[in-house]
Amino acid sequence: MIGRLNHVGVATPSIAESVKLYRDVLGATQISAVKAMPEQGVNVCFVDLPNSQIELIEPLGEASPLHGFLAKNPSGGQHHVCFEVDDILAARDDMAAKGATVLNNGVPRIGAHGTPVIFVHPKNMGGVLVELMETPKGAHP
Amino acid sequence: MIGRLNHVGVATPSIAESVKLYRDVLGATQISAVKAMPEQGVNVCFVDLPNSQIELIEPLGEASPLHGFLAKNPSGGQHHVCFEVDDILAARDDMAAKGATVLNNGVPRIGAHGTPVIFVHPKNMGGVLVELMETPKGAHP
């Protein structure tokens, strides 16, 4: 079912500081503008690599789900892994049927790439918060 | 400097159990045999995705560096991110000159893909343990 590794989500207390790290120390050259995702309570910024992306995420607002993560990991750290799927509703139903816990009551949200996404609880995923994202139409020819 | 996202390293108490998860729940179809890496104190197994890999790692031996990680994360979790570089020694020297802490006193080891790798301490990398791996010659034409 899962297809491409779309991105690795990396939580940070400051996207601006992380951009310096990826640009000036690791030498990444393609870094997006910061985009606010108020519904998810995060700002996001993508570091483009030749085959995938790092998604930098920082808290947006007091109710951001990232505050808990950053309380445990003040410097930031790996937060989730995002795999592409062809059909988000089929993927959700398949995961739920196999006993996985789909967050947000299984209701997909529109993710940073403009297609629907779901998150699966780490307790069913070997400790990894898994995002499934519907592949953008026309992407990756 | 950094090129492809070669893999995401996922620590697990049991590769066998994680293989069931990636194969039977997430539906991955290309999963390698388990390979012992005694020098690193781990067994590894690769889940191939169309553009990248998940590297499942479990402890091998009592001195495995994974025991500490699994004590904090008994179910496993995201352990490191591996980026490809053209030249491991040039990358190491560049990272060290920029103040990063290269583990193993900066001495590369041969990684699971047969090319030299280094690890950079998370304290300099936004809380992310970063592996840099020399791109296999002839790979990714």
Which residues does chain A have within 8 Å of residue B18's beta carbon, measured at their own beta carbons? Answer: 126
B17 and A CB contact within 8 Å = yes
pLDDT at position A138: 74
A51 and B CB contact within 8 Å = yes
Pick out chain A residues at pLDDT < 70: 139-141
Rounded to two decimals, the ipTM of the complex is 0.95
Which residues does chain A have within 8 Å of residue B97's beta carbon, measured at their own beta carbons? Answer: none
Q: Read off the pLDDT band of B119 (50, 70, 90).
A: very high
pLDDT at position A141: 52
pLDDT at position B55: 98
Quick one: DSSP state of residue A87? -
| Out of A3, A12, A81, closest to residue B126 by CB | A12
B101 and A CB contact within 8 Å = no
Element (H or E) spanning B118, and its range?
A: strand B116-120
pLDDT at position A99: 94
| Out of B3, B12, B130, closest to residue A126 by CB | B12
Average pLDDT, integer, range B58-83: 97
CA distance B133 to A81: 20
B69 and A CB contact within 8 Å = no
For each of the domains in chain B, give its residue range(s) and CATH number, in order of start.
Answer: 5-134 (3.10.180.10)
Alpha-carbon gap: A57 to the closest alpha carbon of chain B (Å): 12
Q: Are B55 and B43 in contact (CB under 8 A)?
A: no
Q: Do A4 and B126 touch (CB under 8 A)?
A: no
A141 and B CB contact within 8 Å = no
Q: Tell me which residue of B11, B44, B52 sits closest to B112, measured CA to CA.
A: B44
Look up residue B25 and give its two tokens. 């729940």
CA distance B96 to B106: 8
pLDDT at position B95: 96
Give the residue from chain B lying closest to A23, CA to CA.
Answer: B1
pLDDT at position A37: 94
